[in-house]
Amino acid sequence: MRRTGGPILNPTVDVGDIDDATLLRRHVDGDAAAFGVLVARHRDRAWAVALRTLGDPAEAEDAVQDAFLSAYRQAARFRGDAQFGTWLHRIVVNSCLDKMRRRRVRAVVPYDAEALAAIADPRDDFAQRETVVEVTDALARLSDDQRLAIVLVDLQGMSVDEAAAVLDIPVGTVKSRCHRGRAQLAVLLGHLRPERVHRDTTVIRGTSPGPQASN
The predicted pLDDT at position 134 comes to: 78
Alpha-carbon Rg of the chain, whole angstroms?
Answer: 18
Domain boundaries, the chain: 14-110, 112-209
Q: How far from the centroid of its chain's Cα atoms is residue 106's Cα? A: 24
pLDDT at 205: 47
What pLDDT does 112 receive? 55
Same fold, 14-110 and 112-209: no
For 162, other C-beta atoms within 10 Å of its C-beta total 19
Indicate the CATH number for domain 14-110.
1.10.1740.10
Consecutive 10-residue averages of pLDDT for the chain (215 residues):
46 68 93 93 94 90 96 92 91 93 62 52 52 78 93 92 94 96 90 53 46 48
Burial call 68-78: b when 16+ CB within 10 Å, e when fewer: beebeeebeeb
pTM of the model: 0.71
CATH topology of domain 112-209: Arc Repressor Mutant, subunit A (1.10.10)
CA-CA-CA-CA torsion for 174, 180, 184, 190, nearest 10 degrees? Answer: 90
